[in-house]
Structure 1
Amino acid sequence: MSDFINKLYKNQALFYKVFLYVLTAVLIVYLLPKGGKFKYDIPKGKPWQYENLYAPFDFAILKSDEELKEERNEIKNSHIPYYSYDTLVPSKVKKEALQQVQNVFADSILKSYQKIIDNFVTKTIDKIYEHGLLQESNRLEPDQLVYLLKGNEASEVSYKKIMKQGEVRSFITHEIEAAGFTSFKTELLEVFFNSIEPNVTFNSELTQKDLQSKLDDISYTRGIIEQGSRIIAKGEVVEGNKYNILRSLKAEYESQVWSKSNYNWIIVGYSTLVALALLMLLLFMRKYRPNIFENNVKVTFIFFNIIFMVMLTTLVVNFNIQYVYVVPLCILPLTLKAFFDARLGLFTHVLTVLLLGFIVPNSYEYMFLQIIAGIVTILTVSELYKRANLFISVGQITLVYIISYFAFTIIQEGEIQDVKIEVFLTFLLGGLATLFVQPLIYVYEKIFGMVSDMSLLELSDTNSKLLKELAEKAPGTFHHSLNVANLAEAAANEINANAMLSRVGALYHDIGKMQNPTYFTENQTTSVNSHDELSPRESAQIIIDHVIKGIEIAKKNNLPDRVIDFIRTHHGTTTVYYFYRKEKEANDNTSSLDFRYPGPIPFSKETAILMMCDSVEAASKSLKEPTSVLIDNFVEKIINKQMEEGQFLNSNITFKEIQMVKKILKRKLKNIYHLRIEYPE
Structure 2
Amino acid sequence: MKSRVAKIFRSVRQIKWISIGVPLFILGVILLFLTLNNVHTKTYDIKRFNTAKETIRSPITIENENETERKTREAVQAVEDRYTISDEITAQRLHYIDEIFEAITTLEKKEWQKDTKKSDMPINHQEKLQQLKQILSPEIKEQINDSVFSYLIELDEKDRKRGKEIVIKSVKDVLTSGVRMENKERATSEVRSSIKYTDLDEEYKKNLTRIAEFAIVENSFFDYDKTMEAQKEAASNVDPVIIRAGEIIVREGQTITNEIYEELKLVGLLSEERNFYPIIGLSLLLMMIVSIIGYEIYRLDKKSQLNKGTFISVLLIILLIASLMKVISSFTTSTNELYYIVPVATGALLIKLLINERLAVVLASTIAILGSIIFNGEIPGSLNIQAGIYFFFSQMAAIIFLMNVKDRLTIIKSGIGMSFVNVITVILFIFLSFEKYTLSDVFLQSGYAVASAFLSAVFTIGLLPFFETGLGILSDIKLLQLSNPNHPLLKKLLTEAPGTYHHSIMVANLSETACEAIGVNGLLARVGAYYHDIGKTVRPHYFIENQLAIQNPHDFIDPRESAKIIIAHPYDGVDMLKKYKMPKEIIDIAEQHHGTTLLKYFYFKEKERDDQVIESDFRYPGPKPQTKETAIVSICDSVEAAVRSLKEPTEEKIEDIVASIINDRLTDGQFDECSITFKELKIAQRAICDTLKGIFHSRIQYPIKEKA
Q: 1:560 to 1:616 in 2, by over 3 A?
A: same
Superposition deviation, residue 537 in structure 1: 2.6
Q: CA deviation at 1:616?
A: 0.9
SS in 2 for 1:357: helix
Q: Which residue of 2 aligns with 1:394?
A: 415
Aligned to 2:23: 20
1:257/1:420 CA distance change after superposition, 3 Å = farther
Deviation of the 1:30 alpha carbon: 1.8
The amino acid of 1:453's aligned partner reads D
After superposition, the Cα gap between the structure-2 partners of 1:522 and 1:676, relative to the gap in structure 1 and judged at 3 Å, is: closer
Query: Given the superposition, is the C-alpha separation of residues 330 and 529 from structure 1 closer, same or farther in structure 2, using an over 3 Å criterion?
Result: same
Change in 2 beyond 3 A, CA 1:58/1:561: farther
Structure 1 residues 408 and 320 mapped into 2: Cα distance closer, same or farther (>3 Å)? closer
Residue 450 in structure 1 maps to residue 504 in structure 2: no
The answer for the alignment partner of 1:248 in structure 2 is 247
By how many angstroms is 1:284 displaced? 2.5
Paired residue for 2:655?
Answer: 632
> Hey, what's the Cα distance between the residues in 1 that align with 2:532 and 2:579?
15
Partners of 1:335 and 1:35 in 2: how far apart?
27
Match of 1:29 among 18, 27, 32: 32
Please, which moves more after superposition, 538-547 or 550-559? 538-547
How far apart are the structure 1 equivalents of 2:608 and 2:648?
29
Q: Structure 1 residues 231, 15: CA separation in 2 closer, same or farther (over 3 Å shift)?
A: farther
Partner of 2:190: none
Post-superposition shift, 1:536?
2.4
**Given the alignment of the two structures, is residue 460 of structure 1 paired with residue 483 of structure 2, yes or no?**
yes
C-alpha separation between the residues in 2 aligned to 1:53 and 1:231?
Answer: 16
Q: 1:293 to 1:559 in 2, by over 3 A?
A: closer
Q: Which residue of 2 aligns with 1:619?
A: 642
Gaps of 5+ in 1: 1-5, 39-51, 60-228, 234-240
Using a 3 Å threshold, how does the CA distance of structure 1 residues 647 and 423 change in structure 2: closer, same or farther? Answer: same
State yes or no: 1:574 paired with 2:573.
Answer: no
Q: Report if aligned partners of 2:340, 2:390 keep a CA contact under 8 Å in 1.
A: no
Measure, in 1, the Cα distance between the counterparts of 2:443 and 2:485.
49
Is residue 328 of structure 1 aligned with residue 337 of structure 2? no
Residues 343-367 of structure 1 deviation map (CA, whole Å, 9 limit, x = unaligned): 0111122122222222113621222
CA distance in 2 between partners of 1:498 and 1:666 (Å): 19
Q: Name the SS for the 1:34 alignment partner.
A: helix
Change (3 A) 1:636 1:262: same
Residues 327 and 656 from structure 1, CA distance in 2 versus in 1: closer, same or farther, beyond 3 angstroms? same
Instruction: Tell me the CA shift for residue 400 of structure 1.
Output: 2.1
Q: 1:620 to 1:8 in 2, by over 3 A?
A: closer
Alignment of 1:138-537 (within 5 A): 245=244, 248=247, 257=269, 259-263=271-275, 266-290=278-302, 294-321=306-333, 322-361=337-376, 363-387=384-408, 389-413=410-434, 420-436=442-458, 437-537=460-560
Residue 560 of structure 1 and its aligned partner are, at CA, apart by 0.4
CA 1:352–1:57 in 2, change beyond 3 Å: closer, same or farther?
Answer: farther
Structure-2 residue corresponding to 1:557? 580
Q: Quick one: which amino acid aligns to residue 338 of structure 1?
A: L
CA–CA separation in structure 1 for the residues paired with 2:679 and 2:367: 37
* SS of aligned partner of 1:555: helix
Q: Is residue 661 of structure 1 aligned with residue 684 of structure 2? A: yes
CA distance in 2: counterparts of 1:8 and 1:643, whole angstroms: 30
Write the deviation string for residues 148-188 of structure 1: whole angstroms up to 9, x where unpaired. xxxxxxxxxxxxxxxxxxxxxxxxxxxxxxxxxxxxxxxxx
CA distance in 1, matches of 2:627, 2:367: 29
1:664 is matched by which residue type in structure 2? A
Match of 1:647 in 2: 670
Residues 316 and 456 (structure 1), Cα distance of their counterparts in 2 relative to 1, 3 Å cut: same
TM-aligned CA distance change 1:403 to 1:231, over 3 Å: farther
CA drift of 1:519 comes to 1.8
Contact 2:595 2:623 in 1 (8 A): yes
Deviation at 1:467, TM superposition (A): 1.4
Distance 1:597 1:22 in 2: 44
Distance of 1:58 and 1:574 partners within structure 2: 87
Shift in CA distance, 666/11, structure 1 to aligned 2, threshold 3 Å: closer
Q: Which amino acid aligns with 1:372?
A: F
Shift of 1:326: 1.3
- Aligned Cα RMSD in Å? 3.7
Q: Which residue of 1 aligns with 2:64?
A: 55
Partner of 1:604: 627
Query: May I ask how many residue pairs the two structures share in their alignment?
Result: 485
Match for 1:24: what amino acid?
L
Equivalent residue letter for 1:408: F
Match of 2:3?
A: none
Letter in 2 for 1:36: V
Distance 2:521 2:451 in 1: 33
Distance, in Å, in 2 between the alignment partners of 1:56 and 1:584 is 99
Q: Secondary structure at the match of 2:512?
A: helix
- Quote the Cα distance in structure 2 between the aligned partners of 1:672 and 1:299: 41
C-alpha separation in 2, matches of 1:58 and 1:448:
61
Sort the Cα spacing of 1:250 and 1:525 in 2 relative to 1 into closer, same or farther, 3 A: farther
Aligned residues of 1:485 and 1:507 also touching (Cα < 8 A) = yes
Residue 245 of structure 1 deviates from its aligned partner by 4.0
Supply the AA of the counterpart residue of 2:292. M
Separation of aligned partners in 1, 2:426 and 2:373: 20
Q: Does the CA-based 8 Å contact 2:36-2:279 persist in structure 1?
A: no
Contact map agreement 1:550 1:567 (CA 8 A) in 2: yes
Rounded to whole Å, the distance in 1 between the matches of 2:655 and 2:25 is 56
| Deviation for aligned residue 1:449 | 1.5
Q: Determine the C-alpha separation between the residues in 2 that align with 1:594 and 1:617.
A: 25
What is residue 155 of structure 1 aligned with on the other side? none
Query: In the alignment, residue 521 of structure 1 is paired with which amino acid?
Result: I
1:230 and 1:384 map into 2 onto residues whose CA distance is 64
Task: Measure the CA separation in 2 of the matches of 1:492 and 1:310.
Answer: 36
Letter in 2 for 1:351: T
User: Where does residue 156 of structure 1 map in the other structure?
Assistant: none
TM-aligned CA deviation for residue 416 of structure 1: 7.3
Residues 473, 382 of structure 1: alpha-carbon distance in 2 compared, 3 angstrom cutoff: same
* Bigger mean CA offset, 272-281 vs 461-470: 272-281
Q: Deviations over 1:413-467 (max 9, x none)?
A: 1777687331111101001112211222112212212121111111111111111
**Post-superposition offset of 1:290:** 2.9
Change in CA separation of 1:406 and 1:292 when aligned onto 2, cut-off 3 Å: farther
2:291 and 2:249 map into 1 onto residues whose CA distance is 31
Alignment TM-score, normalising by the size of structure 2? 0.62
Task: Assess, with a 3 A threshold, how the Cα gap between structure 1 residues 292 and 657 changes in structure 2: closer, same or farther.
Answer: closer
Q: Distance in 2 between matches of 1:31 and 1:56?
A: 34
Q: Are the counterparts in 2 of residues 282 and 293 from structure 1 also a CA contact under 8 Å? A: no
Greater CA radius of gyration, 1 or 2? Answer: 2
Partner of 1:358: helix, strand, or coil?
Answer: helix
Moved more, 438-447 or 505-514: 438-447
Q: Measure, in 1, the Cα distance between the counterparts of 2:270 and 2:622.
A: 62
TM superposition shift of 1:572: 1.9
Aligned to 2:649, the other structure's residue is in SS state: coil
Structure-to-structure mapping, 1:104-143, within 5 angstroms? none
Question: 1:528-555: per-residue Cα shift (whole Å, max 9, x none)?
Answer: 2222343323322221211111111111
The aligned amino acid for 1:642 is R
Contact kept? 1:482, 1:507, Cα under 8 Å: yes
Contact 1:54 1:231 in 2 (8 A): no
CA distance in 2, matches of 1:255, 1:293: 50
Q: 1:7 to 1:674 in 2, by over 3 A?
A: closer
CA distance in 1 between partners of 2:563 and 2:277 (Å): 69
